[in-house]
Structure 1
Amino acid sequence: MQNLLRAVWIYRHFIFSSIRNDLRMRFARSKLGGLWMILQPLAQVAIYAVVLSRIMGSRLPGVDNRYAYVIYLIAGMVAWSLFVETVTRCLTIFVDNGNLLKKIVFPRISLPLIVAGSALVSNLLLLIAAVGVFLIAGHMPTMSMAWLLVLIPVNLAFSIGLGLTLGILNVFVRDIGQVMVVVLQLWFWMTPIVYMPTILPEQFQSLIRLNPMYYIASGFQDVLLYGKAPQLDHLGYIAVGSALLLGLSMFLFRRANAEMVDVL
């Protein structure tokens, strides 16, 4: 682990420049450039809001704002977009960069860090846009937003740990990447972003409480919509679990590091 951290520190300039180049390349020939990072999730929010606002809007108690459901949606999407982008890109990161891994000597742990850094920048831009929408809707941010300094790292740690683990396994079993496309779609609907958990029967509420993203997304909603702290007991469990998952991914990476290049 110390060797990995030392390598990351030595190649820190390479990592930061790669994050910058990654963001540039994603929108190199686009007229709107980085705006697409926030327009796409906001467009998805707009679709759900138009379709479901009349049904769900009245089910948000304790919020005196006609746009409460839109704010609820955006808060959940901010949490989900960081998770899904990190996991999706980590899934194929070693497969997509197979030729690079064979030709250039650099710490391979840099690749998931570059993905995580790029996803984090995108998410922060989305968060800034979300706050702008809140202000337009008459919803003033509160000091509870400081909890995002905890929620975002927990979300990112969970996303990297899961994405890196699956990315390593995907090198040896390529079906994992295909299966996860479907799993992530189901996972989205198992997370209370478009709906409130209170509308579900009790047995289904118990089921979605097994979902780590339930607590992360609800934490963002508590902070951004209700202006209160997240559920700290549950968030603590998720933070510990994320740290363990991240440790597992590092262990698998060290064990499979040399074999991955041979398979690729």
Structure 2
Amino acid sequence: MFLSFFQFLKDLIKDREFLLRLSVNDFKAKYAGSIFGILWAFIQPLVTILVFWFVFEMGFKSAPVDNFSFILWFIPAYIPWIFFNDILISSANCLYEYNYLVKKVKFRVSILPIMKIVSAFFVHIFFILFIYFIFLIYGYKVDIFFFQAFYYSFALIVFSMGLSWAISALSVFFKDMGQLISMFLQIGFWATPIFWNVDKMEPSVAQILKINPMYYIIRGYRDSFIYKIPFWHRISTSIYFWILTATLFIVGALIFKKLRPHLADGL
């Protein structure tokens, strides 16, 4: 298993240029035919953020959280959730979308879910820069902790990879997988402390929310932009997250490998 994993990483590095070209083409193709084209990848999340800003800052006049404006506290948590949401939804359909490649004998199909992650990452990089911009507008200077967000981006990518393999392969044989993923994401949005301040909750409830691996990511982005806490200070949650991530990575890879010979028939 470990030899196969290292061989996979070696092949991935070897084919990195091909993966990048495939991801760029996928990113462009996603919005081809629409008037605004790839701008939709950025317009939709920006409009959502603008709505939240208007509702909570102007409408409800939400109180600051830990001496930070609510919108500043909210955006660093919402941006990684958008990334995660995009990865899972696109992974559920990627093998259908590229079925002509799946049916090619020599094509490494396992690269398709990764391509979707890279494609979504293009947008995510923009929104990380957008967070920097918003904090600058509010008078906060960029410091070294801001760049820590890229560590949590990497953690989210690795966590999503195993899930993407499992979801993409299972979707071929379980047609309702896309609907289940959408329902899971709706529940997960409210089960993840994006709107909630876990520190203000009952300890028993907070402990349950911390089981969610996205808690580590969301809290990490806030640590980077708001609380200025190095990632190595979250040692217990880091260990839990990476053990769970490694487990999901292995399970997802095994599921994909097991179903790979039957994917062409399922499509």
Q: TM-score, normalised by structure 1?
A: 0.88
Q: After superposition, where does 1:80-95 map in structure 2 within 5 Å?
A: 80-95=81-96
Shift of residue 94, structure 1, vs aligned partner: 1.7
Matching of residue 46 in structure 1 with residue 47 in structure 2: no
Shift of residue 223, structure 1, vs aligned partner: 0.8
Aligned to 1:189: 190
Structure 1: gaps of 5 or more residues: none
Aligned to 2:118: 117
Aligned to 1:133: 134
- Higher mean C-alpha displacement, 141-150 vs 85-94: 141-150
Aligned to 1:237: 240
User: How far apart are the structure 2 equivalents of 1:175 and 1:253?
Assistant: 18
* Maintained 8 Å contact 1:112/1:160: yes
User: How far apart are the structure 2 equivalents of 1:229 and 1:43?
Assistant: 31
* Maintained 8 Å contact 1:76/1:220: yes
For the residue of structure 1 that corresponds to 2:141, the secondary structure is coil
* Maintained 8 Å contact 1:143/1:227: no
Q: 1:38 to 1:73 in 2, by over 3 A?
A: farther
Matching of residue 21 in structure 1 with residue 21 in structure 2: no
- Higher mean C-alpha displacement, 182-191 vs 11-20: 11-20
* Maintained 8 Å contact 1:45/1:73: no
Shift of residue 101, structure 1, vs aligned partner: 1.4
User: How far apart are the structure 1 equivalents of 2:14 and 2:34?
Assistant: 33
Q: Give CA-to-partner distance per residue, 1:169-215, whole Å, 9 cap, x none.
A: 22222222211111110100111112322454444322211111112
Q: Give CA-to-partner distance per residue, 1:148-186, whole Å, 9 cap, x none.
A: 232111111111211221222222222222111111101
Matching of residue 254 in structure 1 with residue 257 in structure 2: yes
Q: Residue 58 of structure 1: which of 63, 67, 71 is its match?
A: 63
User: How far apart are the structure 2 equivalents of 1:254 and 1:56?
Assistant: 51
User: How far apart are the structure 2 equivalents of 1:202 and 1:42?
Assistant: 34
Q: Which amino acid aligns with 1:232?
A: I
Q: Give CA-to-partner distance per residue, 1:26-64, whole Å, 9 cap, x none.
A: 233455444433332232222223323476843512x3x
Q: Give CA-to-partner distance per residue, 1:60-99, whole Å, 9 cap, x none.
A: 12x3x5xx21111110112112211111111222233223
Greater RCO between the two (CA within 8 Å, min separation 6)?
1
Aligned to 1:154: 155
User: How far apart are the structure 2 equivalents of 1:184 and 1:120?
Assistant: 18
* Maintained 8 Å contact 1:86/1:116: yes
Structure 2: gaps of 5 or more residues: none
Shift of residue 103, structure 1, vs aligned partner: 4.5
Task: Tell me how many residue pairs correspond in the alignment.
Answer: 260
Q: TM-score, normalised by structure 2?
A: 0.87
Aligned to 2:205: 204
Shift of residue 236, structure 1, vs aligned partner: 3.0
Q: Which amino acid aligns with 2:254?
A: F
